Chains A and B, each alone.
Chain A
Amino acid sequence: MARSVTTQRKILNTAAAWAIGLLIFFPILWTILTSFKTEAEAIASPPIFLNFDWTLENYAIVQERSNYMRFLWNSVIIAGGSTVLGIIIAVPAAWSMAFVPSKRTKDILMWMLSTKMLPAVGVLYPIYLLCIQLGVLDNRLAMVVILMLINLPIIVWMLYTYFREIPGEILEAARMDGATLKEELLYILTPMAVPGIASTLLLNFILAWNEAFWTLNLTSVDAAPLTAFIASYSSPEGLFFAKLSAASTMAIAPILILGWFSQKQLVRGLTFGAVK
């Protein structure tokens, strides 16, 4: 039986949902608003909400002072590259764990996840040293590999959950029909898992895009993505809130737009397997 919900209750729930949504969105909204203020207005007390002189000055200065496009390009390469590389490695891994599990499969999955529980700073030193030794500090390819490794457990977990939903008999049918392992992955499993793979791609692209710890520590000029671009506006001479906000807005805009257009996929990806 469906649970009956009174109109009053519905209004209350809707109001609460909007309130929480706005609360979460507020910092982003404030950043965007601040980016259109002058530096003086940005730090005014009490803060000014809307009635200030809207200006694009900050954006002009930010663009003049640093090359936004270069950072953007690095972000695209690092986030995109690490995600694609991760998927290529994770599809076979998740396939084997979902369809030919061994006694230790659950342990391996937990172990992979446990690496995400380790504070990143705990391994900064060894990884930093490794990068120096290998001569790949501030190197885009190195960042692609490192971020891929950082996010690989999540990619494998997500794909594993998707693959588990695909009936094993279909893959067995493909085997009976003469498909080799490669053909089975290519013609049957991957096309059937396209929605799952798409949301995994998307989520990991976002995670890699927003990743700041490793990008800030291991890049400076050549491989610096947008996170470094934002960070470069918090200088020791004092904070320039309006410019920092303009930089932040420029940095988050691409991912915000991407997320907006793919929110259906994203929600599906995050809740997949939760209910069946």
Chain B
Amino acid sequence: MGRIQLKQVTKKFGDVEVIPPLDLTIEDGEFAVFVGPSGCGKSTLLRLIAGLEDITTGQIEIDGTDATNVPPAKRGLAMVFQSYALYPHMSVRKNIAFPLRMAKMEQAEIDKRVEAAASVLNLTDYLDRRPGQLSGGQRQRVAIGRAIVREPAAFLFDEPLSNLDAALRVGMRMEISELHEKLATTMIYVTHDQVEAMTMADKIVVLQAGVIEQVGSPLELYRAPRNLFVAGFIGSPKMNFIEGPEAAKHDAHTIGVRPEHIAVSDSEGLWSGVVGVSEHLGSDTFFHVHDTGLAETITVRADGEVGFRHGDRIHLTPRADVIHRFDAQGLRIA
């Protein structure tokens, strides 16, 4: 079980309020991702849930019981840190066994559980090594192993993949998702990478300056961002924002068009502009189009085969049914 509820939680560091009053519920078994730019308070929020920081006011409930003043060790949560935070003086086996040892579990049971975790995480051959003798991915697996052995109520991940290289990151992303499927335990995952958030989450919590901007499933956030911040943050490349007369045509202060929702043509279209930088990914090509008279640049996502060159004049047509409209306050117009 692992239903986590935050009620009017605030956090101040000295006089600086990093988390204004905040309410949030994470259901049992859910994979929730806190996402936002650096300094948005997502890690602080995770640390408040973990108990590593004390909340200033409000209440945290875990499975319906008040955990506000419960020390981290007693909250039944396991955490995986960005730096892995392995114990460098202990073997992999001892690292994974540590939480069980602290729980005063019998040695036979400890051995059984460590072996089981190691086999799930492909660490069996490395049990007697020290963390210093492992690669980044292996270290990350040990950190996860240390978290899963004690069968916690929920897992907390603090940017666990940001120290890994890109290829490994994709692999570990899948592994963590699979682990979630297998264990069906609540997971809270903090990241600044919206791709991680989109691919892994059941529920995404978008934060900015300690405030929750929107909570929803990845597709809800993609399809119906509640404001300009969420619209700009979710989706890659970033949504194009257009103000002025073009927006007024749609009775909005600002309209947003995703790069993948713009059709390109060399002959006709609603807007026209000049190709600046093109980014060729093979499968797709991103064109940054200037001189459209709408905004500084319009980013367009086209098929990888589309072969416009720098300086070409091209024509753009947005898909009318997926134009996002925002008012002067930056809020979505339904």
Contact = CB atoms under 8 A, between A and B. Distances in A.
A182 B72 CA distance: 15
10 contacts: A167-B85, A170-B87, A172-B52, A174-B87, A176-B50, A177-B78, A177-B98, A177-B150, A179-B98, A191-B89
A188 interface: yes
A176 B72 contact: yes
Given A173-B79, A178-B150, 19 more contacts: A167-B83, A169-B83, A170-B85, A170-B86, A173-B81, A173-B86, A173-B87, A175-B52, A175-B72, A176-B78, A176-B79, A177-B102, A177-B146, A178-B102, A179-B73, A180-B73, A187-B98, A192-B88, A192-B89
A180 B102 CA distance: 8
B81 A172 contact: yes
A178 B85 contact: no
Interface in A144-182: 167, 169-170, 172-180
A172 B99 contact: no
Interface string B85-105: 111110000000011001100
B12 to A, nearest CB: 15
A104 to B, nearest CB: 14
Contacts of B150: 177-178
B293 interface: no
Contacts of A222: none
A147 to B, nearest CB: 31
B71 interface: yes
B99 A188 contact: no
A192 B85 CA distance: 13
Contact of B73 (A167, A170, A176): A176
A174 B98 contact: yes
A176 B146 CA distance: 10
Nearest to B143: A173
B71 A175 contact: yes
Contacts of B74: 178
A191 B71 CA distance: 24
Interface of B: 50, 52, 71-74, 77-79, 81-83, 85-89, 98-99, 102-103, 146, 150
Interface of A: 167, 169-170, 172-180, 183, 187-188, 191-192, 194
A175 B103 CA distance: 12
A52 to B, nearest CB: 54
Nearest to A166: B88
A188 B52 CA distance: 17
Contacts of B77: 176
A173 B89 contact: no
B88 A178 contact: no
Nearest to B73: A178
Nearest to A175: B72
Contacts of A194: 89
Contacts of A192: 87-89
A170 B83 CA distance: 9
A149 B32 CA distance: 53
A31 B52 CA distance: 58
B162 to A, nearest CB: 13
B185 to A, nearest CB: 15
A178 B103 contact: yes
A170 B81 CA distance: 9
Contacts of A173: 79, 81, 85-87, 146
A191 B73 CA distance: 21
A169 B102 CA distance: 18
A177 B99 contact: yes
Nearest to A173: B85
A172 B102 contact: no
Q: Which 8 A-B pairs have the closest CB atoms?
A: A178-B102, A173-B85, A177-B99, A169-B85, A178-B73, A176-B79, A191-B89, A175-B72
B147 to A, nearest CB: 8
A178 B102 CA distance: 6
A174 B79 CA distance: 10
A87 B6 CA distance: 42
Contacts of B99: 177-178
Nearest to B82: A169
A168 to B, nearest CB: 9
A86 B160 CA distance: 39
Nearest to A171: B85
A179 B87 contact: no
A194 B98 CA distance: 19
A78 B115 CA distance: 49
Nearest to A192: B89
Contacts of A187: 98
Contacts of A175: 52, 71-73
A170 B143 CA distance: 11
B158 to A, nearest CB: 9
Nearest to A183: B102
Contacts of A176: 50, 52, 72-73, 77-79
B255 to A, nearest CB: 44
A265 to B, nearest CB: 17
Contacts of A180: 73, 102
A117 B71 CA distance: 41
Contacts of B82: 169
A167 to B, nearest CB: 6
A192 B88 CA distance: 8
Contacts of B98: 174, 177, 179, 187
Contacts of B103: 178
A191 B91 CA distance: 13
Nearest to A191: B89
